[in-house]
Amino acid sequence: MAGYALWRIGAAVPVLFGMVLVVFLLLNVLPVDPIQVMITQTGSGQAPSASATQETIDNIRRELGLDRPLHVQFLAYLGNALSGDLGSSFRSNQPVAEMIAEQYPYTIRLALAGLTATLVLGLTFGIIAGLWPGSLIDRLLVLVATLGIAAPTFWLGLMLIFAFSIVYPIFPVLGVGSLQAIFLPAITLGLPGAAIVARLTRSNLAAVMKEDYIVTARSKGVSGRLLVLRHAMPNVLAPVLTVIGLQFGNLMTGTVIVETVFSRPGIGRLGVDAILQSDYPVVQGFTLVMATTYVVVNLMVDLIHMWVDPRIRDQ
Amino acid sequence: MLPTRRRLLTAATAAAIAVTTLPMAPGLIGPTVAQAAEGGTVTWAFLRRPQSLDPNIWSGGSDLGVMRQMYDTLIWSPAPGEFQPGLATSWTASDDGLVYTFELRDDVTFHDGTPFNAEAVKFMFERIKNPDSKSLNIGAIGPFESATVVDEFTVEIRLSEPWGAFLTNVSEPHLSPTSPAAVAELGEDFAQNPVGTGPFMFDRWSGNDLYMVRNPDYNWGPEMAGVEGPAALDGIVVKEVPEASTRMNALRSGEVDVIHFPVMSQVSQMEQGGFQVFRLPQPGFSWSLPVNVTKSPTDDLRVRRAMLHAVNNEQIVRTILFDQVPPAYGPLTAVTFGYDPAVKDSFSYDPELAGQLLDEAGWVLPEGGTVREKDGQPLQIKMAMFESSVNKAVSELAQAMLQQVGFDVTLNVANYPAFATQVAEADYHTAQMRWSAVDPDQVIPTMFNSNQITGGGQFNRTRIADPELDELIRQAGAVTDTKERAALYSQIQAKAMENVWIIPVYDDVWFFLAKPEVQNFIVDRQGRPMLYAATLAQ
């Protein structure tokens, strides 16, 4: 088992290297001069209030090493990244690692809250629908789940704000500061995943409930909650676990939008702003952290999978 | 309503200053203020986390609005060409216009407790000039040559040539003294831990939100604020709320007190709902489409004139900006010093005339076609635009209007850096421009001087290179007589419209929306709030 785990961890290294390389190349083929980024201000559509001279521009370019050949720049970046130095933002001059360290906890908190929403809503509705397939409540839940998958996160967030912050002022509009504040962002983020989990749980549970061992358990007098949770769910959960691992990627992507709609800090916002402003070092750092998170989460899911599924464990 | 109230407050303070020995509580001035209580915190929903709070180095337009709360300037400007004491009690210029001497207040301390003095002013100018600081505000010190400490509270600034806009620049937040001790100690971290002399002090960052607290020692506010002593508010929170509809909702739900950059279509509805709406016309360069005079077919004046008559700026303002801003008729907005109202007669929407002009220039509509041709070549132009607020919508409408008279317009809407690159490569016939600045000398040279075609920000998007024009611009900047300057700027504006260097679209207006409880919300000349004077009704 330890060997398998080590092999999985080792396999993540080339994935991350490839990702860094691809992002580096992509950013360098864009028709954008990063120095323009540094001397202009975009957010408000405001032009800079003072202009830089050509000399300033050349100086900045030399200082940042942007006049060196591409492969030299890449190797330098890689070397620094390995020692935790992700460079400095073109715009604010802050170290990228610092910027990410500041924003990352907010995103992880939001992602975990979203994951909780996915699991609680998805499993609850999935189990109810799965136990009574074909019933009215089942059909209703399938309909809601389909809508949940289809609804754009951006729209969903604004609708939830309108309903639960303006019409019925239960939750704050701004999604940061208190425990209550994370509720709407978590629902917005977790709902599409919940819909998928609900549908998967429902179909798996409906199938498992017809299996021989359930019939056997039932004939031995096991019933109700024990039958479902003890006997049926372990077999239902294995594929659900895999989907959750994959869903975590969507969840991380979703934070980008949810953080904007609910004005939460986070690296999703940081990344999008950086992309809009062509702030390469930040885009690179952002992609690296997002990809690492995704790889680590899926590694964890694999290990948990191995632990809950004896068939993999014994291989 | 706003200027009137400001005048009233100014008058009230002037009277109060006559009896300076009496301690003045801000609550005593003006009828609205009397109802308000001391204290409270104003929460301002802000477009984005301010990237830097170092006024000498960073020039981000909206970030300077935040810095206004934490810093002071040597002098303040309540109106074009008028100045009031700030950190400087008086100032004189030498007859040749090369040396300015500032007498400074002797009772001012920075937020870190270190004294403000002539050394600090010298430090500020030299820091901006030093290439190692990579200051974006090098333009704000113009022909600055050297600074000399005459005595502890007297400083002399020497220029290499006369500069009419010098005092205006000194009144702008870029030239706010920063604590030399804090800059030395914090280095680049100063940008996130600012230390100034202003009415509010930096407290902390929480996530992307900035917290400021009242400076209890503050006693050097400008007369134009209309209040004295420390600020009435306990503090200010600048909360990052990037999404416009969320800003509106946060104001509705009462979570924030003040917002900027609202959803335009909801402004009048909010106003009817009892929220205060402050419309702050921006001095500077109007939102316009400079036309590239060096590239065919827009190198032909008749083609440019046709474009000017084809774009209906009044309709753009009506459909996209809900009539909340005025249409523009020239390079300078109507509230800018030197604006010449004569530009209003320089053109009107006339698509028929546009067609005639194109016919004359040899661009004719082929039988049954919609795009004009000349010698088998279609009338194609490229429009460059960057994605920000209404830019995309405005340019799409302008594109449609140009197509109606027979242009084939390729519109490219990109992020700013990509747009700037397209401009730098001269790969456009028209590219958007707008600029906020209080003095025309901060605008006109940047837009029309030949030295702005390459290098710098490439802001001469007309790409006009005319030595006579350069000389005229230089004169207008150097002359210190206000009337003479205005006359020179009139000439330049007339030239710009006669030659159709730009297609003016609208005068930019900044919007602030506030809860009714926020009182005495005043702004500086560029529309930056001065929350020093504000109070919160309980």
Please report the pLDDT score of residue B167 as a whole number: 93
Q: Which of A49, A93, A261 sits opposite B246 (nearest CB)?
A: A261
Question: DSSP letter at B114?
Answer: P
CA B433 to chain centre: 13
Domains held by chain B: number: 2
Using a CB-CB cut-off of 8 Å, the residues of chain B touching A169 are: 253
- Report the phi/psi class of residue A228: left, alpha or beta, with left for phi > 0 and alpha for psi in -120 to 50: alpha
Q: Average pLDDT of chain A?
A: 82
- Asked, for residue B4, whether it belongs to a domain, the answer is no
Q: Which of B138, B192, B436 sits opposite A52 (nearest CB)?
A: B138
Using a CB-CB cut-off of 8 Å, the residues of chain B touching A277 are: 415-417
CA pair distance B394, B386, nearest whole angstrom: 11
B65 closest CA partner among A52, A262, A44? A44
Give Cβ neighbours of residue A170 (< 8 Å, ≥ 6 apart).
A164
Inter-chain touch A45–B434, beta carbons under 8 Å: yes
Contact between B72 and B196 under an 8 Å Cβ cutoff? The reply is: yes
Which residue type, as a one-letter code, is found at position B311?
Answer: V
Please report the pLDDT score of residue A37 as a whole number: 65
- Asked, for residue B312, whether it belongs to a domain, the answer is yes
Residue A90: pLDDT band with limits 50, 70, 90: confident
Please report the pLDDT score of residue B265 as a whole number: 85
CA pair distance A266, A252, nearest whole angstrom: 11
Please report the pLDDT score of residue A315 as a whole number: 59
Task: Give the H or E element holding residue B521.
Answer: none
What pLDDT digit, counting tens, does each position of B15-69 carry? 333 333 333 333 333 333 344 567 899 999 998 888 889 999 887 767 899 999 9
Does residue A50 carry a pLDDT above 80? no
Q: Outline where B311-404 has alpha helix (H).
A: 313-321, 351-360, 391-404
Determine how many CB atoms are found less than 10 A away from the CB of residue B65: 27
Superfamily of domain A110-265+298-313: MetI-like (1.10.3720.10)
If asked whether residues B274 and B290 sit together in one domain, one would say no
Inter-chain touch B434–A47, beta carbons under 8 Å: yes
Q: DSSP states of B275-337 as a string?
A: -EEEEEEPPEEEEEEEB-TTSTTTTSHHHHHHHHHH--HHHHHHHHHTT-S-B--SSB-TTST
Please report the pLDDT score of residue A5 as a whole number: 75
Residue with tokens 């003294």: B177
Inter-chain touch A51–B139, beta carbons under 8 Å: yes
Considering only A245-249, B4-8, B118-122, B275-279, which range has the smallest mean pLDDT?
B4-8
CA pair distance B65, B43, nearest whole angstrom: 14
- Burial class from Cβ neighbours inside 10 Å (0-12, 13-18, 19+) for residue B425 reads exposed
Please report the pLDDT score of residue A54 as a whole number: 66
Residue with tokens 């306990």: B234
Could you write out the three-class secondary structure of B55-82? CCCCCCHHHHHHHCCCCCCCEEEEECCE
- Asked, for residue B5, whether it belongs to a domain, the answer is no
Using a CB-CB cut-off of 8 Å, the residues of chain B touching A264 are: 207
Å from A152 to nearest chain B CA? 16
Burial B241-264 (b: 16+ CB within 10 A, else e): bbbbbbbbbbbbbebbbbbbbbbb
Inter-chain touch B246–A263, beta carbons under 8 Å: yes
Please report the pLDDT score of residue B8 as a whole number: 44
CA pair distance A189, A151, nearest whole angstrom: 11
CA pair distance B256, A30, nearest whole angstrom: 39
Residue A46: pLDDT band with limits 50, 70, 90: very low
- The maximal CA–CA distance of chain A, rounded, in angstroms, is 86
Contact between B347 and B340 under an 8 Å Cβ cutoff? The reply is: no
Question: DSSP letter at B431?
Answer: E
CA A195 to chain centre: 16
- Asked, for residue B416, whether it belongs to a domain, the answer is yes
Nearest CA in chain B to A36: B417
Residue B13: pLDDT band with limits 50, 70, 90: very low
Inter-chain touch B242–A263, beta carbons under 8 Å: yes
- Burial class from Cβ neighbours inside 10 Å (0-12, 13-18, 19+) for residue A214 reads middle
Task: Give the H or E element holding residue B31.
Answer: helix B31-35
Please report the pLDDT score of residue B18 as a whole number: 35
Residue A136: C-alpha distances to residues A123, A125, A128, A178, A296 (Å): 18, 13, 11, 38, 41
CA pair distance B162, B220, nearest whole angstrom: 30
- Strand arrangement, sheet containing B154-159: B88-93, B99-104, B154-159, B144-151
Please report the pLDDT score of residue B171 as a whole number: 94
If asked whether residues B463 and B518 sit together in one domain, one would say no
Please report the pLDDT score of residue B37 as a whole number: 61
Considering only A143-152, B144-153, B525-534, which range has the smallest mean pLDDT?
A143-152
Determine how many CB atoms are found less than 10 A away from the CB of residue A163: 13
Mean pLDDT value across residues B268-296: 93
Residue A1: pLDDT band with limits 50, 70, 90: low
- Asked, for residue B152, whether it belongs to a domain, the answer is yes
Mean pLDDT value across residues B485-511: 95
What pLDDT digit, counting tens, does each position of A159-198 carry? 999 999 989 989 999 877 778 899 999 999 999 889 889 9
Could you write out the three-class secondary structure of B484-511? HHHHHHHHHHHHHHHCCCEEEEECCEEE
> Which residue ranges make up each domain of chain A?
110-265+298-313
Give Cβ neighbours of residue B452 (< 8 Å, ≥ 6 apart).
A51, B445, B446, B458, B459, B460
CA pair distance A138, A24, nearest whole angstrom: 48
Residue A223: pLDDT band with limits 50, 70, 90: confident
Helices B391-404 and B301-310: crossing angle in degrees, nearest 10, is 110
Inter-chain touch B51–A91, beta carbons under 8 Å: yes
Using a CB-CB cut-off of 8 Å, the residues of chain A touching B290 are: none
Does residue A245 carry a pLDDT above 90? no
CA A75 to chain centre: 28
Nearest CA in chain A to B256: A174
Please report the pLDDT score of residue B478 as a whole number: 84
Could you write out the three-class secondary structure of chain A? CHHHHHHHHHHHHHHHHHHHHHHHHHHHHCCCCHHHHHHCCCCCCCCCCCCCCHHHHHHHHHHCCCCCCHHHHHHHHHHHHHCCCCCECCCCCCEHHHHHHHHHHHHHHHHHHHHHHHHHHHHHHHHHHHHCCCCHHHHHHHHHHHHHHHCCHHHHHHHHHHHHHHHCCCCCCCCCCCCHHHHHHHHHHHHHHHHHHHHHHHHHHHHHCCCHHHHHHHHCCCCHHHHHHHHHHHHHHHHHHHHHHHHHHHHHHHHHHHHHHCCCCCHHHHHHHHHHCCCHHHHHHHHHHHHHHHHHHHHHHHHHHHHHCHHHHCC
Give the 3-state secondary structure of residue B23.
coil
Contact between A39 and B424 under an 8 Å Cβ cutoff? The reply is: no
Contact between A201 and A127 under an 8 Å Cβ cutoff? The reply is: yes
Does residue B193 carry a pLDDT above 60? yes
Please report the pLDDT score of residue B482 as a whole number: 82
Contact between B147 and B130 under an 8 Å Cβ cutoff? The reply is: no
If asked whether residues B533 and B503 sit together in one domain, one would say no
Does residue A291 carry a pLDDT above 80? yes
Parent domain of B473: 284-507
Mean pLDDT value across residues B123-146: 87
Mean pLDDT value across residues B327-346: 93
If asked whether residues B69 and B179 sit together in one domain, one would say yes
C-alpha angle A276-A280-A281 in degrees, rounded to nearest 5: 130
A198 closest CA partner among A166, A235, A244? A244
Which residue type, as a one-letter code, is found at position B120?
Answer: A
Q: CATH no. for residue B86?
A: 3.40.190.10
Å from B182 to nearest chain A CA? 18
Please report the pLDDT score of residue B30 as a whole number: 31
Mean pLDDT value across residues B509-518: 94
Contact between B326 and B507 under an 8 Å Cβ cutoff? The reply is: yes
What pLDDT digit, counting tens, does each position of B218-230 carry? 999 999 999 999 9
CA pair distance B328, B209, nearest whole angstrom: 36
Residue A279: pLDDT band with limits 50, 70, 90: confident
Does residue B369 carry a pLDDT above 70? yes
Contact between A188 and A156 under an 8 Å Cβ cutoff? The reply is: yes
Residue B420: pLDDT band with limits 50, 70, 90: confident
Residue A40: pLDDT band with limits 50, 70, 90: low
Contact between B516 and B336 under an 8 Å Cβ cutoff? The reply is: no
Write down the pTM of the prediction.
0.80
Please report the pLDDT score of residue A297 as a whole number: 85
* Highest-pLDDT range among A114-123, A125-134, A213-222, B438-447: A114-123
Inter-chain touch B418–A32, beta carbons under 8 Å: yes
Q: CATH no. for residue B400?
A: 3.10.105.10
Token digits of residue A146? 């389909």
Inter-chain touch B442–A49, beta carbons under 8 Å: yes
Helices A183-208 and A153-161: crossing angle in degrees, nearest 10, is 120
Classify the complex by whether its ipTM is higher than 0.85, answering yes or no: no
Contact between B173 and B49 under an 8 Å Cβ cutoff? The reply is: no
If asked whether residues B294 and B323 sit together in one domain, one would say yes
Mean pLDDT value across residues B425-440: 89
